[in-house]
Amino acid sequence: MASITADLATTFLTLTARHRTPLSRVQATVLPFLLSPATPQSRSLRFTTSSFHSRIIAVDFSKPKGCSRRLTVAASASATTTPQSEGSDVSTKIPPDNRVPATIITGFLGSGKGIVKIGNELSPDQMSSPLKEVMEDTTMGSLEHTTLLNHILTAEHGKRIAVIENEFGEVDIDGSLVAAKTTGAEDIVMLNNGCLCCTVRGDLVRMISELVNKKKGKFDHIVIETTGLANPAPIIQTFYAEDQVFNDVKLDGVVTLVDAKHAGFHLDEVKPKGVVNEAIEQIAYADRIIVNKTDLVGESETASLIQRIRKINRMANLKRTEFGKVDLDYVLGIGGFDLERIESVVSAEGAKEDHDHEHNHNHDHEHHDHHHDDHSHDHEHEHHDGHHSHDHSHDPGVSSANIWLGTLLLERSEDIYRMKGLLSVQGMDERFVFQGVHDIFQGSPDRMWGPDEPRMNKIVFIGKNLDAQELDEGFKSCLL
Ligand SMILES: Nc1nc2c(ncn2[C@@H]2O[C@H](COP(=O)(O)OP(=O)(O)OP(=O)(O)O)[C@@H](O)[C@H]2O)c(=O)[nH]1
């Protein structure tokens, strides 16, 4: 961990380095990177909160309001690099990333992630009872009535997919074998002696390393299906905290299925002190949300569920489905953790529901309601279109932005579930993009600002107990 800390400590600072920085140094970081010593809490991969007021805050920093105070916080950095002066030139680029992409599919129990039920390969007497039960529960053998994972495995997308499926012990694995055989998936591996987010994280690391070492070149994508009760955070963090994984595999995105019929009940559930509500967590971490099983509910029920989901996560794209039928592009290759695609997320267009279907008019309405709601009621969500140009002299300097972000994550990483941002850093010709998951931070310059492109600063936060105004003020305090 100590060596990671050193790397961490340099990440934002190395923006100013002119040489090409190795991938592992540029892209993996666990905050805090500036202030030491780190509190145990800030390093914790898990968190336990009783009062859950999850919400999104989108803060657009494009219009500084006369704030030019320079932060003079002394950084007792554990950094190994020499701190750079504000406004120095930067030419570092994100190195090409050839790691295998991995997608986490999550969603509460029974949301339709992936019991494998493909064709009639097994006769009922060959099935174990749990599998039989599920088969009986649906339309036997029908490819039409399937699940997201089956859909991914059987659709024509030309990708060779390795699947890691996490089920609790007693669940039958025959179904997976059927899927592997039927679909030609390179590998389906079961992790069935615990939950990925807690007891079998080590297994996940080993499994991924084994896949990569033994089967390199034989698959193009890894899909990880979590148990229905998994908290995605520790699984996400595995991709950054474990060198073995990080060097070969990049997290592509988190896809969350939401059961249109039962989700409301799970979202309402009040958990005992210190226990998280997994249904909320799964939505909060998502890059893509699939509201599944819409055949079981009416339009108004779906609409109000979507409104609710939007209060938890406005950043993710959202689609409604029956039996997990979505375009594969929607779930694979989405770049949810890809720095080069951050802009599409932080732009106002980033979080939207697919409108290309029959209920178009209603969706539009919901979306706008959501905006108004946020503005008029709780003032927690500040969202602007973010395309205003502004005076460059108000861009953050690299050191002050570093200090602000470092301090913010040091103090608030437990509450910041995800964040994505685009910064116009003083003296930097490239846009600086970053994303974070709790105390994991990943940032880098990407393409150059266009000659006529308005430079802007914009950060989207998802978390709990976040105050948009406080964040806004914090950021402005580090503007030059
Ligand atoms: N009516 C209906 N049933 C669905 C839909 N999608 C999935 N199902 C059924 O819902 C049941 C649960 O689906 P699963 O794929 O097992 O759900 P899961 O998310 O993997 O559940 P866990 O393994 O418990 O986490 C199965 O019987 C599916 O066939 C849908 O859109 N509509």
Q: What is the pLDDT of residue 178?
A: 36
Q: How far is CA 347 from the centre of its chain?
A: 16
Give one word for 194, left, alpha or beta, with left for phi > 0 and alpha for psi -120 to 50: left
Tell me the CA distances in angstroms from 111 to 11, 163, 295, one per residue in order.
Answer: 39, 18, 13
Q: Rounded to the nearest whole angstrom, what is the distance from the C-alpha of residue 177 to the centroid of ligand 1?
A: 18
Q: How far is CA 478 from the centre of its chain?
A: 27
The residue type at 20: R
111, 153, 266, 294, best to mutate for ligand 1 pocket (most atoms within 8 Å of CB): 111
Give me the sign of the Cα torsion angle 383, 384, 386, 392: negative
Q: Which residues of the chain are modeled with pLDDT < 50? A: 1-56, 62-92, 117-122, 127-128, 130-131, 133-135, 137-144, 170-187, 193, 348-350, 356-393
Q: Rounded to the nearest whole angstrom, what is the distance from the C-alpha of residue 423 to the centroid of ligand 1?
A: 41
pLDDT tens digits for range 394-439: 677 778 888 888 888 888 888 889 888 888 888 888 888 888 888 8
CA pair distance 106, 240, nearest whole angstrom: 19
Residue having the nearest C-alpha atom to atom 13 of ligand 1? 112
CATH class given for the domain over 100-118+128-136+144-337: alpha beta
**In the chain, where the domains are located:** 100-118+128-136+144-337, 394-479
Ligand 1 site residues, Cβ closer than 6 angstroms? 107, 109-115, 134, 137-138, 145, 147, 227-228, 292-293, 295-296, 322-324
Q: What is the pLDDT of residue 130?
A: 44
Same fold, 100-118+128-136+144-337 and 394-479: no
Residue 336 has phi, psi (to 5 degrees) of -65, -25
Cβ neighbors of 147 (< 8 A, separation 6 or more) are 112, 113, 114, 115, 116, 117, 323, 324
Q: What is the pLDDT of residue 261?
A: 94
Computed on alpha carbons and rounded to an integer, the radius of gyration of the chain in Å comes to 22
Q: What is the pLDDT of residue 30?
A: 33
Structure pTM? 0.69
CATH code that applies to domain 394-479: 3.30.1220.10
